[in-house]
Structure 1
């Protein structure tokens, strides 16, 4: 599907910082006359220029409306160019771009948004404008007028309001001016609007005069007071105004500005308009007596003006006065008596209710400006202010900047050296646990979330009185990884894997609270959690969910079961961006911080209001302290990373694979009986190949061409990995030693990524290989490259990949490393993750154990070719090597 033939597009920021309009069947439909696809097909600059100049006033989905704002800012700056003058648009300040990013709605790749990325896109808009101007041959003003009638008028007419304290009867002055020209120094020179009648007199200049006055005429259609001024021609003269006149102009600012009129207000009005009295509340000044969700925080309110408290008498005066501008404390302030009275009543009621303390979740929502009522917070943000008191402000600051937290260290109990960012992560997790609050550790894959959690558990074991076990729930495919990491790096932890692949069934049936209390960490799968009711009854120190995207569906049975767990605090681990989809974020936070985001229904109403207002900053502020996400692309992190990280991806066998494997073992035993010499060697080699094929996929051995994804444990593990890789928009190389596996793998990966990738094997023409490499390296839309190990294992430079997957093992570390180095070479600026697929309980598992043990067998057999010694094993040794451990091999 091309960009130009779909009305369902979503913005996507790539890891390289490029903006794409990606087809998305789940995206809201765009208006029929919004040709976004065609514009973005020419490039991001053209797409943003089209958004910012041609879709003004159109209802767009939140993400596209946000990008339109960036485009519109460029066009607004463009409109200050004098007619016939040279185009020179000043780049926005990085702080301004940072504030814009803070309010960005969820979208794919939002984690890659930085001020530098927006600045680069600003430059692309500028380039697109110049290209399109050159192609049309039009003047800038004509070009802008063709996009939207108001654009070439923006900034031309100004309404100027000034205070006139020397005239108590009419304390304001009004004057309409126009930007006549630019001075030699590039300054806009203003003239009274009356001068336009003289400058553009005569029939020849009538069109220019009409063009200049068009925004005034347009605004007059919506502003009765302005229409009266135009009809009476008062618009061309300086005017003495009463406070009510000035307030009418303030009230109609949106209508004036949308018509193309610039309004300049008194310089003493610091925020661009007069100060407003605000109902100000502070929450959390003192440390609460209880921590966790049950914490009750102190709450105090006042009415203030620019941070200074107003007396009860002053408040009464304001409420008894008229709406509009009132004079108080030597200056004009803006007052809405109904709104101020309503907010005052609401906060007084809240203060009364919170006499015993305000619940933590309520306090945090108030602080972020995220409330349950449609009338709360949003339209009245300028009239109400909630600030964190000393204790809460300090706590939130520590959570947002964990690098500055006090040191907590697992010490020698951890048999590894934590990297600085991992140390910060452990301190952050420890603080949240001490506060009784949950956490979402969302570091990129490969940054050591496992190590940080193990460090936290070691600290608990050493420092906390009355040790209590913790529970970790993970996909079944990751249980072996967790157990191995705990044994290697935290051998002092008492670990129990409550899963039939690693613990006998009779022991699992006998599990009770007394046995669980003797452990430090219980590890189980989502499926086993459903079958072990005793796990639900325990009071855990901390309940941890790995690959937390598994609980993104709140209606799923496993999600509901996980959320029943009782724990002092809860931790969600995920490598995928948690802010890309609001529904996913709600479900994860409903586990880590129940009630913080309200019910699913309340959250749905909240997000609809946020989308309507194109204002997502409050929600981001609410959850930010409880999400720690470090990216591999972060310069502060990547400088501290190893060049490549090797991970074992344990896979289970499907029932079909297990049955075929067991049958193959029996067939091998029968075939070996009585054979010797060359015939025996041939049998051994053929069966070793059969075991590998069965571990890959039943169809590879059966030759039935079915290749159903659910029939292979490796295909299922591939799906789990790709869920994270695709969400991060990273690229992956997949190596297999079998040519016949490349196309089924590519078909499976294409379905997972939603985009096609590339294939290279021994049958690929030599002349085509260079083009495939170029395409993978340069085309950001190509997500994967499937290669046969012999054809793609040497001579290729594929540094665009962040991941390397060895789908099946060559059983020769030197050959595998050579293939890995296609991605990890000179020119690679990414941390490369290498995933080695191994089926548990099979010959793949036992050969891997030999490689890990670095026994002489590895050197003699594997590096020299498996046939050198495997064929020389006795029947008993060989059958022991290939036998199936059914409990380890199957996912239960």
Structure 2
């Protein structure tokens, strides 16, 4: 339809004079706009964005008198959508201006964006200019522009890579901007294309593989940022999508992991230009069907997006990069021998000095290689100045007396005793171990007979097939005793088995828990008497909600969420809930309601269902009720609130049952996080543990079946490891830092009024010994908290950037004041001692040399051999030699 024809259709009917007169003003306005829009070049799609960008320093324009707002200049700047009909009433015009002007300005915030100009990616002198359109570039943050350049450099060199930014830094947006540049999605530069002539067609389209839950998110982001033709290969009508691909009608194809795993052979036949895998850490297992299927893609331009590059093992790192850039890390055996083993053994707390040196060299070499194909940025490095900050507190809650008795009874079950004693000599007199002889099966057990109800002779894995079911039961006891009772939703056989198990572990306390069947009483389930974590949570929640805090409460168990829901109802809390049964279409409305409604105080979320895609920036307290073996699960849960746009400082509380298996779960998390920091970022981490993953010779305190089922009820396992590290002096000043952390944690746990009342008692009851527990006992013991620390101070080498930037005002003042006092004291000591330094240096050196010679003589070695022995000895051996030498020296004067 021509422009003149379109105008004719808009003319008022001549048979209706009133209509003609009433519409004349409107028509003249429309006609004027169309006449002025006749231009050989199409106006840019985001011209409104460009114009608003020019106005960011002229906000007064939006508050001019109404007579000035109607001026032609103002109408031109705001575009035709801001024009009002002259015949409208004054009140309607004012409402329309408010609806158009102010919300528009609020929705386009350009404080942190760049100028409205394209981002050129191609090298100077290249004929074909590749650039990110100005309409996209002006909305990118600086770190996102760097990410786009990184992706394009990989593309230009015809190989893949990994964009490993933290969650919430916009990996999706960076990818779309990169694709828009590669495919020339720049409507404002179309006239340049016509001048250059027709460009050659692309080799193919882009395949994006992602979790099912974020497919719609990818679609929405593409619609907001760039005009691509997109298709989703998921669900019915997949054959029609393949026909469109062959006809070159699709530029971007999005599919899920499960769909690709099943139909990967069909998709691998398509000639893809680029393949992108979102949440690429899903490619960690080389034996999975998904990994084998995804290797069939022929293109070399493979890009992975993930914020958790390594989760559990170093070999996961190899599997990911073997798909991204095949051969960049050598063969699998080479990687295991050259990187995996040295890095793991060099992290042992008792590792010889030569092991540490080798590990440091291999770490630097690995980081250098990965830097070519990996871009890794954290929130603290990029948008930390735009965020309110986060503290990650790990809280060890005392189990109730009943929980402790049930936990002890479970460790005494024949099933677990069989696993604990597996390496002992068999009682029948055979030279074989128990696991190889009479104790391979457990017919008198509680769990084993049900697992082998169809095979009384056992299976090939016996008795190790019992490990996982027993671990699950121990974790259930640590969280809530109701979890080990039969679930009415299970089949009758499983319910009978669970009833027998509950009766066995409850023993004489069965009446205290209401029998071995599930408690249907609302008051019984919401009672916190027999659950240590819920007792602590009850007092913490009262403190938080009285101050207007908003809480995210995570648990991976749906049954635990049911119990917590009844607990919140009993306490009168207004809450929302999201788990796997929540329809996908309802989830975003729940999130929006929680963020906008002041009355919604708590959000109950399943860790599995809520780990991705939720943006709950209004919350400032995050509680992870039960830890996961995979540290990435807990970190993803924290990031639901700790992301760009957060309203307040976020404080995370991970609740652990002290003296239970959960302490081992957490320490393994620390171990995995440290290995990831070493391998990916090249950081130097504290060496807490003597165990080595997948090494039977060095199982230490973390690995092996005996450690999993060890009785930790008589000790604070985690705190003892940390305190031992401090006593050895590996990190000077850590003990003082721990005291400060504990003191400030009290401010997080209790309101200021309660803290003031207990401060006097804390000072009276303080004891010089047991420094790690000193600040906790007076205040936190009443809450059932026996120990607490900050995760970032344990995992990272010393206080990290995050730990400094994200402290609240009170904590920052405390830390700065403490550091100032220490600095002044050290300075005064240095000034006083500087006078005697020169005179004492020579004599001190001679004394040390003579002491060293005496020690070497005591060991029957020369000084050189003794030096070699010192480098290879562990701290325990060195300490033993010093004690023996001291005893002998003390005995000599006494004859």
Common fold by TM > 0.5: no
**TM-score of the aligned structures, taking structure 2 as reference length:** 0.30
In proportion to residue count, which structure has more helix? 2
In proportion to residue count, which structure has more strand? 1
- Larger relative CO (CA 8 A, sep 6+): 1 or 2? 2
**TM-score of the aligned structures, taking structure 1 as reference length:** 0.30
